[in-house]
Amino acid sequence: MENKLLFEQIERKVLVKKESVTDVKYGKKPEERAIEELLNNGVICLNKPQGPSSHQVADYIKQIFNVEKVGHGGTLEN
């Protein structure tokens, strides 16, 4: 078996209870969003390693994505 994490080894099925169409005035599919939209409205779930402070990690993200504003919710400390 490939190198997979335990949760990746479980075969899963998607259950669709009801197909529906959404009016475009209420939004669009994520894959149809421009990169700028995703960056402006996105969320990064991060498991911060021990060492850098929350402020440092936020600064890394700003540099990597070349954005002006980054924040974090809660404490990122261990």
User: At CA 78, angle to CA 10 and CA 42, rounded to 5?
Assistant: 65
pLDDT for the residue 59:
92
Give per-10-residue mean pLDDT for the chain (78 aa).
79 89 82 83 81 87 88 66
CB atoms within 10 A of CB 58: 17
pLDDT for the residue 67:
85
Instruction: State the pTM of this model.
Output: 0.50
